[in-house]
Amino acid sequence: QKEVEQDPGPLSVPEGAIVSLNCTYSNSAFQYFMWYRQYSRKGPELLMYTYSSGNKEDGRFTAQVDKSSKYISLFIRDSQPSDSATYLCAMSTTGNTPLVFGKGTRLSVIA
Amino acid sequence: KAGVTQTPRYLIKTRGQQVTLSCSPISGHRSVSWYQQTPGQGLQFLFEYFSETQRNKGNFPGRFSGRQFSNSRSEMNVSTLELGDSALYLCASSLARHNTEAFFGQGTRLTVV
């Protein structure tokens, strides 16, 4: 079992839909939870991070962490074609230990 | 402010050769981490350098090595290339070794034939 599991998709949604992206993990020591967006031929870009449990909101994006279930989610409201990208979850035990990534979910938002 | 710069962007090498990839971090950043990205394994951590010292190392064979210079620029080297080394190699820099402030470069696409 990989430490971090993420459904690769692809996921295709109409413009304006709410998108839900998820990861599960096995290492209960993870404390930092990140979401990255990666456009084709580009490096990953940090969207949001959460420390420990709880929710965090930033504009159209909401990140949730449920440590009891070892499950994290990223919600995108009012999705736009410009949100079409691969979304990667990543986790670490402390702020400066190596990140462990999920394989990424490819999202297409259709206009 | 310039971002993380990786050179070259694309590279084709033959099995058995060696290759050196370069990463120039954001000005002032002293930590550089390297990752390998493949369709099968996703992003996997290779190593991290801070102040010219390797601080963490991933689970890769000894053919993969790296170093960091006094100006924080970093290089990684892969010797005796194998077909399976074909991947996108990404580096990320941060000011003080914190993942929440790491910025990735666009990567070097290495193809081994």
Q: What chain B residue is nearest to A98 in terms of C-alpha separation?
A: B45
* Residue B78 pLDDT class (50, 70, 90 cuts): very high
Query: What is the average per-residue pLDDT within B104-108?
Result: 97
Of B100, B105, B106, the CB nearest to A95: B100
The pLDDT value recorded for residue A100 is: 95
With an 8 Å Cβ cutoff, are A32 and B102 in contact? Answer: no
Least-confidence region, from A61-75, A91-105, B11-25, B78-92:
A91-105
pLDDT of B1 > 80? The answer is no
Provide, as residue numbers in chain B, all residues whose Cβ is less than 8 Å from the Cβ of A44. 43, 90, 104
A34 lies within 8 A of chain B by CB: yes
Of A32, A42, A98, the CB nearest to B45: A98
Contact A86, A33 (CB under 8 A): no
Contact B35, B43 (CB under 8 A): yes
- Averaged pLDDT score across all residues of chain A: 94
Task: Return residues 56-95 of B near A (CB < 8 Å).
Answer: 56, 58, 90, 92
B23 lies within 8 A of chain A by CB: no
* Residue B70 pLDDT class (50, 70, 90 cuts): very high
Of A96 and B103, more confident: B103
pLDDT in tens, A18-47: 999 999 999 999 999 999 999 998 999 999
Q: What chain A residue is nearest to B106 in terms of C-alpha separation?
A: A43
Q: What chain B residue is nearest to A47 in terms of C-alpha separation?
A: B100
The pLDDT value recorded for residue A34 is: 95
Nearest-angstrom CA–CA distance, B101 and A41: 22
Query: What is the average per-residue pLDDT within B43-55?
Result: 95
Q: Which of A44, A33, A95, A92 is nearest to B98 (CA)?
A: A95
Of B42, B48, B104, the CB nearest to A102: B42
